[in-house]
């Protein structure tokens, strides 16, 4: 089944404790992206990747890191989480860059609470 998977689905942590949220897709997609969803703000892009070893900042990159060592994986790293990073996070992928009108496929989401 074609899908985007994320782990963990739920995570409670404390301020400053490094964490990684994994994302994997099995559709051989080139483009992958991370979003955060906050009430009243919709989805805002954190980082995106157009291919292996090619990553760039989205609209709200502060406090986050990503890497793209393999085509299928795009982990999101919070080196020193803070309470304002409490949010619902989505990973998404598409065949190519979104500007080409490609449909994005979303993971199930990771709900993060930073105490």
Chain residues binding another protein by CB under 8 A are: 4, 31, 33, 35, 40-45, 48, 50, 56-59, 90, 92, 97-101, 103-109
For the CB of residue 25, give the shortest distance to another protein in the complex, in Å.
12
For the CB of residue 48, give the shortest distance to another protein in the complex, in Å.
5
For the CB of residue 16, give the shortest distance to another protein in the complex, in Å.
28
Q: For residues 29 and 97, is the Cβ–Cβ distance under 8 A?
A: no
Instruction: Please report the beta strands in the chain, taking only residues with DSSP state E, as ranges in sequence order.
Output: 4-7, 10-13, 19-25, 31-38, 42-51, 54-57, 65-66, 76-78, 87-94, 105-106, 110-114
Closer residue to another protein (CB): 60 or 114:
60
């Amino acid at each position: 089944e074609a899908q985007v998977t994320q782990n963990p689905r739920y995570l409670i942590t404390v301020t400053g404790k490094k964490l990684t949220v994994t994302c994997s897709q099995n559709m051989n997609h080139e483009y992958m992206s991370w979003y955060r969803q906050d009430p009243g703000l919709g989805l805002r892009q954190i980082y995106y990747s157009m291919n292996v070893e090619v990553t760039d900042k989205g609209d709200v990159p502060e406090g986050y890191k990503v890497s793209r060592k393999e085509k299928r994986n795009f982990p999101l790293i919070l080196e020193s989480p803070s309470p304002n990073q409490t949010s619902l996070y989505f990973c998404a992928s598409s065949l190519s860059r979104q500007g080409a009108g490609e449909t994005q496929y979303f993971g199930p989401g990771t709900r993060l609470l930073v105490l």
